[in-house]
Structure 1
Amino acid sequence: MKFIKTDTDVNLFENIIETESQVVTHLVIPAGKNVPEHFVDYDVIVVSIKGKAIFGDVTEKREEVVVPGDIVQLHPNEHHYLKAIEDTEVMVIKSKLK
């Protein structure tokens, strides 16, 4: 078992765990800033831990507001983006599932 502490003063992001099959990223987005449309070749879970953001699903042309405790699940290659309404922090868990 391994216990990992995250940085409380992150400038945009820190990769906490990085292996061939998994990446865990602590993402910090200041209010008014955006993460532009992108996609990854992983199954992704996004867990909101602070603030309020708009999470956009490009394919379905839909936006949802996410707040602490909300979870977003994405399949590989789903185009998405984030817009921070408030200072926002999320944990992004990217996994190569078989």
Structure 2
Amino acid sequence: MQTILLDTVIPQQDKKLTSIYNTEARQIVHLQLSANQEIPTHKSPKHVFIVVKSGKVAFTVSDQEIILSPHEVLIMEPDEFHSLKALEDTSILVIKS
């Protein structure tokens, strides 16, 4: 068993990607974006779970846009193309499994 206190591993900075946990089977990262910052279209070979901690972010997945707010979760299948744009200063957890 392992406990991770997120406040100690997630620094509060602009456009920051922080690895929280990383194995071949699973990866958890924290992503912070300032308002209007974007990540271009890409894909992952794994299932991707997006958990919005704060802010608001627009995801485009397979040409469909969805707006996510705090405490919402987006689940993407392997190899789904997606992009995102922070509509506000945003903090999300990205879990790949």
Q: Normalising to structure 1: TM-score of the pair?
A: 0.89
Determine whether 1:24 maps to 2:6: no
Structure 1 consecutive aligned stretches of length 4 or more whose deviation exceeds 4 Å: none
Of the three residues 16, 23, 39, the one matched with 1:12 is: 16
Give the drift of 1:68: 0.2
Deviation at 1:8, TM superposition (A): 3.0
* Root-mean-square deviation over aligned CA pairs: 1.1
Q: Which residue number in structure 1 is paired with residue 56 of structure 2?
A: 52
Instruction: Please give the alpha-carbon distance, in whole angstroms, between the structure 1 residues aligned to 2:11 and 2:23.
Output: 23
TM-score (norm 2): 0.90
Counterpart AA for 2:67: V
Structure 1 partner of 2:85? 83
- Residue 72 of structure 1 aligns with an amino acid whose one-letter code is L
Following the alignment from structure 2 to structure 1, what is the Cα–Cα distance between the partners of residues 24 and 44? 14
Greater fraction helix? 2
Report the identity percentage: 32
Unaligned ranges ≥5, structure 1: none
